[in-house]
Amino acid sequence: METDSGSKANEPEAQGLDLHLCIICQRKTNENLVEKPEAHEKVRVSIEEWSKYGNRQYKEAWNKLRFTSVQELEDGQASWHRSCYIDQYMLECLEEQEKGMRGSSKAPVSPGENHDQTHQ
């Protein structure tokens, strides 16, 4: 069947996810994995979102992770390096802050100040 061959084409990528390694970087490092991971769904959703911004590491992680359900991650006791998750979270926060700064005037605006008001 054509449908089966299409799904089989994705199997090597799905099989490439090693649940014994960090599900984000897929590397064994000196850093320990999170001991009792409980946020599989949150991490999975975050990786999916981050992969949309062109970061190669997260695109690669998502290409493997998208074929794995949250239940499979939980059952397999999948984990991640805290730094892999935090590094991307902090980068996302900085990017959001930078976007906000570019959209505003050079001088900070106080909460009660009208943004459209011109000072002469």
Cβ contact 24:80 at 8 Å: yes
Residue 111 included in any domain: no
Whether residue 82 lies inside any domain: the answer is yes
Identify the pLDDT of residue 88.
65
Q: For the residues 101-110, what does the mean pLDDT come to? A: 51
Instruction: Give the residue, 79 or 118, on which the prediction is more confident.
Output: 79
Provide mean pLDDT across the span 8-12.
Answer: 38
- Considering only residues 98 and 76, tell me which one the structure prediction assigns the higher pLDDT: 76
The domain containing residue 81 runs over which residues?
A: 33-93
| Mean pLDDT over each residue of the chain, to the nearest integer | 74
Percent of the chain past pLDDT 70, that is, above it, reads: 62
Kindly report, residue by residue over 32-88, the tens digit of the pLDDT: 999 988 889 989 988 898 888 877 888 999 999 999 999 999 999 999 998 888 766
The alpha helices in the chain, defined as continuous H runs, are 2-8, 11-15, 40-51, 56-65, 70-75, 82-103
How many structural domains is the chain composed of? 1
